[in-house]
Structure 1
Amino acid sequence: MTNVKNPIIIDQEYCPSKGCETKPSQVEISDVLFKNIKGTATTKSEVTLVCSSSMPCENVALANIDLKYILPDGPATSTCTNVKGISITGMENPQPCS
């Protein structure tokens, strides 16, 4: 990846219009693997896993992730919300969420 926005993202709170912000997602997300991802990012939050409070993501694995944030207002961050059974191995950048 080169200079991408949101390189690793699951966002079940995405709300493009009025009225959806009060309805948690009912979509089940499970058994997701992000592996061997390297490159540069233009968004500070390089890893964003924001899952539904009513239907948490399950069994998400991050393996061998190395993303460099290229803008000067760093450091990069990672966010994980409502994720059950997260596995993190070989993650260099950003610091993994737990």
Structure 2
Amino acid sequence: MINVTNPVIIDQEYCPWNQCSKQTPSKVKISKVSFNNIRGTSTTKEGMILVCSSGVPCEEVKLANINLRFQGTPATATCKNIKPQVFGNVPICTP
């Protein structure tokens, strides 16, 4: 990937134009997702966003060998309501 805005993303709090309520969590279950061997550059410091529903957290999400950079430094990762399985080099998730 080269200069991608959101290289790795799951966002169950997405609410375009404030037309929904973030008070009510998504009821969609996300599971058995893999992100493998992803490398490149992000146009934002936050290269990986994994924000899952508080009502039905993501399960069985595997992250393996993810190397994303932002302006020459490692991109950051935000994770919420998820406990990913990590293999190899992957950005450290912060809540």
Give the alignment's TM-score, normalised by structure 2.
0.87
Residues matched between the structures, number = 93
| 1:43 Cα deviation after fit | 1.1
Where does residue 61 of structure 1 map in the other structure?
Answer: 62
Give the Cα–Cα distance (whole angstroms) in 1 for the partners of residues 20 and 7 of structure 2: 28
Give the Cα–Cα distance (whole angstroms) in 2 for the partners of residues 8 and 49 of structure 1: 8
Give the Cα–Cα distance (whole angstroms) in 1 for the partners of residues 11 and 20 of structure 2: 17
Structure 1 unmatched runs, 5+: none
- RMSD (Å) for aligned C-alpha atoms: 1.8
Where does residue 21 of structure 2 map in the other structure?
Answer: 20
Secondary structure of the 2:3 match is coil
Deviations 1:31-65 (A, max 9, x none): 11000101111111111100000010001111011
| 1:76 Cα deviation after fit | 2.5
Identity of aligned residues (%): 54
Say if 2:68 and 2:74, in contact at 8 Å, map to a contact too: no
Structure 2 unmatched runs, 5+: none
Deviations 1:67-86 (A, max 9, x none): 11127xx66311111014x1
